[in-house]
């Protein structure tokens, strides 16, 4: 097999054929795109599932519309609903990676994961063992936070305490003071960081509607064009520009969808493989075809 060997056309649209692509070494640059559907089995609700999705369950917060909870202008006038939700979603020991997350870590361990683009903010890919340099968190994550006005980073431990109490942290409280004196922002120090507490709202570095995606997304999105196999898992592909990723690979690159429902342009290309149903079940089937099932279950148990 040389670099310019054309990807093998799938003999049939089955997981056995996909497994052959991997076992024969044709598929070595696998690009994966994931969404909230791979974390529902961990107990984290997704956004748009009719009954269980977050957007169906935010009624208690009487928002103008569900997505407002992640809308920047709404947050600026009323940050409380977001912080009520953040208490639910905040990553911590409470949630364990799923079998699907562990499968991605196996791909990386075997040198087959070209890049993982995730929309999720739960950091479960990292927790499963996917190396950070193989993950693009396209919608940011809860890993860091900062003041939305002066952009000064906010301490992670103090943030965790505020989130646990369902309270809204403000810039200047990172020193752990319970009360802050509203101070006029001092002149920027020569190192550019303003030392004053400006009293602005603190927000985790997750991408709200109305905010740009992280630079890393735009710098690395072209890696989707280098894929010789695309896996899309647990996403409705409703939110752009992320939703455009699966269409970036060449027409003849096989694409596999692990999802409860058919989404995006899947089904329109010759080598689309639709594995409709629970993604953990689909991943276990693929692991069986690959002969990785024992290793998958063992790795997951030992997390």
Peptide bond into 241 cis (omega under 30): yes
**56 among the known binding-site residues?**
no
Task: State the minimum distance, in angstroms, from the CB of residue 206 to ligand APR.
Answer: 8
**In the block, residue with structure tokens 């060449």:** 250
Pairing of strands 229-233, 30-34: parallel
**261 among the known binding-site residues?**
yes
**147 among the known binding-site residues?**
yes
Residue 139 annotated to the active site:
yes
**C-beta closer to ligand APR: residue 55 or 292:** 55
What are the DSSP calls for 6-21, one per residue?
A: PPPPPSSSSHHHHHHH
Closest residue to ligand APR, based on beta-carbon distance: 37
Task: Check if the beta carbon of residue 183 is closer than 8 Å to that of residue 172.
Answer: yes
Which one of the listed residues 101, 114, 139, 240 is annotated catalytic?
139
**C-beta closer to ligand APR: residue 47 or 162:** 47
Task: State the minimum distance, in angstroms, from the CB of residue 53 to ligand APR.
Answer: 5
**120 among the known binding-site residues?**
yes
**C-beta closer to ligand APR: residue 194 or 259:** 259
Pairing of strands 255-259, 140-147: unpaired
- Strands of 30-34's sheet in order across: 135-137, 113-118, 30-34, 229-233, 255-259, 272-276
- What residue ranges bind ligand APR (CB under 6 A)? 35-37, 40-41, 46-49, 53, 70, 119, 139, 234-236, 238-239, 259-261, 263, 278-279
**C-beta closer to ligand APR: residue 90 or 228:** 90
Task: State the minimum distance, in angstroms, from the CB of residue 140 to ligand APR.
Answer: 9
**44 among the known binding-site residues?**
no
Rg (CA), the chain: 21
Pairing of strands 229-233, 135-137: unpaired
Q: So which residues are the catalytic ones?
A: 139
Which residues fall in the annotated binding site? 36-40, 46-48, 119-122, 147, 150, 171, 198, 235-236, 259-261, 279
């Amino acid at each position: 097999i040389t670099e310019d060997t054309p990807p093998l056309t799938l003999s049939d649209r089955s997981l056995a054929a996909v497994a052959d692509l991997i076992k024969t070494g044709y598929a070595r640059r696998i690009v994966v795109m994931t969404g909230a559907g791979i974390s529902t089995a961990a107990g984290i609700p997704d956004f748009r599932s009719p009954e269980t999705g977050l957007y169906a369950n935010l009624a208690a917060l009487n928002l103008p519309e569900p997505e407002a909870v992640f809308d920047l202008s709404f947050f600026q006038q009323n940050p409380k609903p977001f912080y009520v939700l953040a208490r639910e979603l905040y990553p911590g020991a409470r949630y364990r990676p799923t079998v699907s997350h562990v499968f991605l870590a196996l791909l990386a361990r075997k040198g087959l994961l070209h890049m993982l683009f995730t929309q999720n903010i739960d950091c479960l890919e990292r927790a499963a063992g996917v190396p950070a340099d193989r993950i693009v968190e396209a919608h940011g994550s809860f890993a860091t936070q900062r003041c939305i006005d002066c952009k000064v980073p906010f301490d992670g431990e103090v943030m965790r305490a505020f989130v646990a109490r369902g309270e809204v942290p403000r810039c200047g409280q990172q020193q752990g003071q319970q009360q802050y004196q509203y101070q006029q922002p001092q002149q920027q120090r020569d190192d550019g960081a303003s030392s004053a507490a400006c009293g602005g709202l603190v927000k985790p570095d997750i991408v709200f509607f109305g905010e740009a995606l992280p630079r890393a997304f735009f710098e690395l999105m072209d890696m989707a064009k280098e894929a010789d196999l695309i896996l899309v898992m647990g996403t409705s592909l409703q939110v752009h520009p992320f939703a455009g990723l699966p269409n970036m690979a060449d027409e003849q690159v096989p694409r596999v969808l692990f999802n409860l429902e058919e989404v995006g342009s899947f089904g329109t290309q010759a080598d689309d493989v639709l594995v409709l149903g629970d993604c953990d079940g689909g991943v276990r089937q693929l692991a069986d075809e690959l002969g990785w099932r024992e290793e998958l279950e063992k790795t997951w148990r030992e997390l």
